[in-house]
Structure 1
Amino acid sequence: MIALKNIEKYYDTKGVKSYILRHITTTIKQGEFVSIMGPSGAGKSTLLNVLGMLEDPTYGQYEFMGANVTSLNERKRMDLYRNHFGFVFQAYHLIDEMTVAENIEAPLLYKNVGSAERKSRVAEMLDRFQMVAKKDLFPNQLSGGQQQLVGIARAVVAQPTIILADEPTGNLQSIQALQIMDLFKKLNQEDGITIIQVTHSEANAAYGSRILHLLDGVIEEDVKVLTTS
């Protein structure tokens, strides 16, 4: 599904290169749940942004579902992004002036989904995430956990192949964090959505099938998660 070959990201200031990512080579198969860990400044969020096509690598090759992303023009890259990717952020990134239902609907407007189909999908998400009673509320009327649920519903409504999550439980209390991680596990196992998350939490990382440990922009370890029955 994803193949990164010698990906590097650096900034050149008067001939001095400041590296954020170095020699990143890895593959991620469809249906995997991968956690990216490492200390602050290790390059975790930058790697996630490269994977999500929000940032371009300075060097190297990125293949997604057989397409060489690094050689695609902006329009084709945007088509890939809209058709396959969902993002979940630590800070939720909901639109304050929109209701819960409108926030969930927003990605479908960008994809030019018809009105009847939009209403059907939004209703399905509201029901699935148990938010029907809150559909007309605004983000500031919700708890942090509820806002993150809306954020996940917004990512899922567009029927993505892959969800990229940047510290998805970073602003949540422990009970809410468990609920969110259980939801990701369900989306991965039951819906078959590939999930890549950046996390500082060992407990959150253990929900996945693999852990990529970054240090100074380099993959130091690629570890399979041992599950117990």
Structure 2
Amino acid sequence: MLLELKNVFKWVNSGGNRVFLLKDINLQIAQGSFVSVMGPSGSGKSTLLNILGMLDTFDEGEYFFNEQPVHQLKEKFRSRLFKENIGFVFQAYHLIDELTVYENIETPLLYKKVSSSERKALVSDMLDRFNIVGKKDLFPSQLSGGQQQLVGVARALIGKPKLLLADEPTGNLNSKQGEEIMEVFKRLNQEGVTIIQVTHSEKNAEYGSQIIELLDGRIISR
């Protein structure tokens, strides 16, 4: 099992009342799965993704990632676990405007103290793989949405994560670009990358091997 959530609750206090964002979430995700998380706006999808990605904490329950008890880890160790194992792809790309495509893809390796020659080789691989070698010296503003998202995916993958989390990865793309990104995910999953995506699109959800529906912070079906 790659990760497991046990009886996870998350709430915010509003006017003396607890407003639950997630209620009693139990979830097991095996290595190599491709899971789609669906549900209306406000159902807790992004909150769940941020908890799985260790970007957000929760109030009650347990989270095990690769058998490590995330809920008991100090910030420093949690951060290391995140950097070594998890890649994130966002709807809004989150590229750094002042950096070229090459530098954006290279960024995660700088945190990992990877040697310069190895960085060069890894970035070249990613540029090749996503057919963006010709774009390496361009800045994000010079790319189409689909190209920006490919750079986002390349950056998320360069550290060879065990888990790729994607929050509405095709939300800002036209249907052809969206399909290209989903085909990239499908290929990555076939190569063994575990993927969890939040999506509004039935069509995109179908790429997954498992669909989880959320409503009002609860899982309503598997």
**TM-score, normalised with respect to structure 2:** 0.99
CA distance in 2, matches of 1:138, 1:110: 21
Give the equivalent residue in structure 1 for 2:217.
Answer: 217
1:193 alignment partner AA: V
C-alpha displacement at 1:2, in angstroms? 0.6
CA distance in 2, matches of 1:77, 1:112: 18
Aligned residue runs from structure 1 range 124-163, under 5 A: 124-163=125-164
2:172 alignment partner AA: N
Report the secondary structure of 1:200's partner residue: coil
Cα shift readout 1:186-228 (whole Å, capped 9, x = no counterpart):
00002x0000000000000000000000000000001xxxxxx
Aligned residue runs from structure 1 range 18-97, under 5 A: 18-97=19-98
CA distance in 2, matches of 1:212, 1:58: 22
Q: Which aligned segments of 4 or more residues in structure 1 are displaced greater than 6 angstroms?
A: none
CA distance in 2, matches of 1:126, 1:155: 13
CA distance in 2, matches of 1:5, 1:91: 30
Aligned residue runs from structure 1 range 148-227, under 5 A: 148-190=149-191, 192-222=192-222
Task: Name stretches of at least 5 consecutive residues in structure 1 with no aligned partner.
Answer: 223-229
CA distance in 2, matches of 1:128, 1:103: 16
CA distance in 1, matches of 2:167, 2:176: 19
C-alpha displacement at 1:26, in angstroms? 1.1
C-alpha displacement at 1:103, in angstroms? 0.2
1:123 alignment partner AA: S
1:48 alignment partner AA: L
**TM-score, normalised with respect to structure 1:** 0.96
Q: Is 2:7 the partner of 1:6?
A: yes
C-alpha displacement at 1:14, in angstroms? 4.5
C-alpha displacement at 1:165, in angstroms? 0.1
Task: Name stretches of at least 5 consecutive residues in structure 2 with no aligned partner.
Answer: none
CA distance in 2, matches of 1:176, 1:69: 35
Cα shift readout 1:146-197 (whole Å, capped 9, x = no counterpart):
000000000111110000000000000000000000000000002x000000
1:217 alignment partner AA: G
